[in-house]
Structure 1
């Protein structure tokens, strides 16, 4: 009794079942750059987060010392403005890139993938814009209509 011959395609021949392909859209090096961004931003984020946590919780009064005055005093120095801005931007872009990858991997229909991506991009842009506005327009020294300093303003304003 002879067995029928079965032909198995050699690996990496490029023959992929059409249901697993999404067309021949030329993405160029975007995916490679996105992969590289994840690695570089991840390393930078580790440093940014640990210094942020150390400076906020380990130095001074710890968590009980974090209040409006603490933030006002910290953001009075340009280094901390830049530090928190870099933390915000990198964390949001790093997270959005990761979610974009998950959407591309698991959303099978083009329409679903498009709308999930649009929601992700709009939410990311909104958080980055609003967070940046908060950092740059933060004014701890509150004044009344006459320009006099309010009595509940933090000590750094006096």
Structure 2
């Protein structure tokens, strides 16, 4: 007779009837599906259509970030990928970090990294200015008006 060992992940803690492990599992499946669509769309636009990888330069990125559609597209990719990866790391930490203190420190480190990267990435997406005021004319791309 074959027996399967119990998983090492601690039993889901129920908070007012909510099973957080179940919702984490559902999030991984849903975000993974949406990420596949977003990433293949990103690759199609950036690499397949047009001139391929040769077209990707500062002006290409500036043109994309000039439209809210691409800002939202990249924002969704950023947030979903980082939260998806952070949740996956949390699961691995639960599986392999047996010491309670180490487990908590690692999970807090992953949370901090995810939060910092989401904040920085979001700032870049929404504050990107290809033609900053006060920059030397020699440092500006050719499509920027001289200031």
Verify same fold: TM over 0.5: yes
> Counterpart in 1 of 2:54?
64
TM-score scaled to structure 2, two decimals? 0.84
- Displacement after TM superposition at 1:29 (Å): 1.2
Measured on the aligned residues, the alpha-carbon RMSD in Å equals 2.3
> Counterpart in 2 of 1:130?
120
Which of 94-103 and 25-34 deviates more?
25-34
> Does the CA-based 8 Å contact 1:103-1:113 persist in structure 2?
yes
> Counterpart in 1 of 2:137?
150
Q: Equivalents in 2 of 1:102, 1:142: separation in Å?
A: 43
> Counterpart in 1 of 2:67?
77
Higher relative contact order (CA 8 A, sep 6+): 2
Q: Identify if the C-alpha distance between structure 1 residues 127 and 113 changes in structure 2 by more than 3 Å, giving closer, same or farther.
A: same
TM-score scaled to structure 1, two decimals? 0.78
Equivalent residues in 2 for 1:1-80, closer than 5 Å: 25-27=13-15, 28-80=18-70
- Displacement after TM superposition at 1:137 (Å): 0.5
- Displacement after TM superposition at 1:143 (Å): 2.9
Larger Rg: 1
Q: Identify if the C-alpha distance between structure 1 residues 51 and 154 changes in structure 2 by more than 3 Å, giving closer, same or farther.
A: farther
| Structure 1: tracts of 5 or more residues without a match | 1-10
> Does the CA-based 8 Å contact 1:68-1:154 persist in structure 2?
no
Which of 60-69 and 89-98 deviates more?
60-69
- Displacement after TM superposition at 1:65 (Å): 1.4
Segments ≥4 residues shifted beyond 2 Å: 20-28, 142-145, 149-154
- Displacement after TM superposition at 1:153 (Å): 2.6
Q: Equivalents in 1 of 2:73, 2:87: separation in Å?
A: 21
Q: Does 1:112 align with 2:99?
A: no
| Structure 2: tracts of 5 or more residues without a match | none
Q: Equivalents in 2 of 1:21, 1:49: separation in Å?
A: 30
